Amino acid sequence: MTVRFRLTEEQRALRAGVRQLLERRFGADALRAAVARPGHLDRELWRELGAAGLFALRLPEAEGGVGLGLPETVLVFEETGRALLPGPVLASHLAAGTVPGAATGECVVARADGSLVEWLDAADTVCGDASGALPLRSVDPLTPLHRVLGAGADAPDPVAVLLTAAEQLGTATRACELAVQHARAREQFGQPIGAFQAVKHLCADLLVRAETARAAVYAAAVTADPADIAAARLLADEAAVRGARDCLQVHGGMGFTWEAEVHLHLKRAWVRAQRGGGSTQSEEALAADLVA
């Protein structure tokens, strides 16, 4: 009996396990603490994540890795994205097996992606050309950024683009959950604001975009086809960025505060949307594919 295009029991268990780990080690208090110390990377947490296999997911077991495939890795990155886990998770994952210590979390790895480098100062080493990188005042308090002026636009690594899409999917899912929670709890005019169609429809669209993106991201993880990956990133970027904005809108005035979690999701989604050449690159790739 074929499993078909849905999660296996093992995949569900993996997702639940990662979610539990992140809730335990990076819960609401840790998130607040991280926002209060921009640029600081919790090295102890990093080693714990390494020990849990987060960076060595796709490394063969013979090389000390977990030996999983892209679909499982996508599920894990969806969770790190959902939890707003700070740090160069993607760069460390991509470096596992080539940069000593990256897999275990002993060595923190940053990565030049186009003209941006995340977490450069906190990293022990950097992959790609980050020479002359200048710090900028990052819009996202949980992602310190450097700008590399004059960096060439290399063809993006499809795996990096896919795993970024997975993180965006996590954000989209979380934004939908937060919006729905608030719409059910917050009362105005004597009823939950989620009873009003204007609010209800914002929430419905959040889910529709997230679930459409989910199908694209999971399928791209199965096929690893570059066009599927480009499609996944476009859908996931939109689901995350528009999702976080709609979530903010549902939260009303509270959504505009520093205190509410919502802005962190939007800002992180903006950062990720710049990776891999941005949406332009993916749209052009898919257009070219249409006439190939």
Partner 1 sequence: MDLSYTPEEEEFRVRLREWLAKVLPTLPAGPSPDDWPGRRAYDLGWQRMLYDAGYADVHWDASPTTRLIFLEETEKAGAPYVGANFVGLLHAGPTLAAEGTPEQRARWLPPILRGDEVWCQGFSEPDAGSDLAALRTRARRDGDDYVVSGSKIWTSHAEVADWCELLVRTDPQAPRHRGITWLAMPMDADGITVRPLRTLAGSAEFAEVFLDEVRVPVAHRVGAENDGWRVTMVTLSFERGTAFVGEVVACRRVLGELARTARENGRWDDPVLRRRLGRLSAEFRALWRLTQWNVSEAEAGGGVPGVGGSVFKLSYSHARQELYDTAAEVLGPDCLDLDRPWVLDRLSSLSYTIAAGTSQIQRNIVAERILGLPKGR
Binding site for partner 1 (CB under 8 A): 2-8, 11, 71, 176, 180, 183-184, 191-192, 194-197, 200-201, 203-205, 207-209, 211-216, 218-219, 221-223, 227-228, 230-232, 234-235, 280, 282-287, 289-291
Alpha-carbon gap, residue 103 to 290, rounded angstroms: 39
In whole angstroms, the minimum distance from the beta carbon of 79 to partner 1 comes to 16
Alpha-carbon distance values, 42 to 31, 38, 282 (Å)? 11, 11, 34
| Cβ closest to partner 1, residue 139 vs residue 287 | 287
Nearer to partner 1, 42 or 72 (CB): 72
Q: In whole angstroms, how close is the CB of 190 to partner 1 at the nearest point?
A: 11
Rounded to the nearest whole angstrom, what is the least distance from the CB of residue 65 to partner 1 in the complex?
20
Nearest CA-CA partner of 179 in 164, 190, 192, 168: 192
- CB of residue 154 vs partner 1: minimum separation in angstroms? 20
Minimum CB distance to partner 1 smaller for 45 or for 227: 227
Of 191 and 259, nearer to partner 1 (C-beta) is 191
Residue-by-residue DSSP string for 32-50: HHHHHSTT---HHHHHHHH
Quote helix, strand, coil % in the chain, to nearest 5: 60, 5, 35
Provide, rounded to whole angstroms, the least separation between the CB of residue 198 and partner 1: 10
Tell me the backbone φ, ψ of residue 127, rounded to 5 degrees. Answer: -95, 135
Q: How far is the CB of 279 from partner 1 (least distance, A)?
A: 8
**Comparison of 70 and 109: residue with beta carbon closer to partner 1:** 70
* Angle at alpha carbon of residue 102, lines to 241 and 124, rounded to 5°: 85
Distance of CA 266 to the CA centre of its chain: 11
Tokens of 260: 């509410």
Contact 53, 65 (CB under 8 A): yes
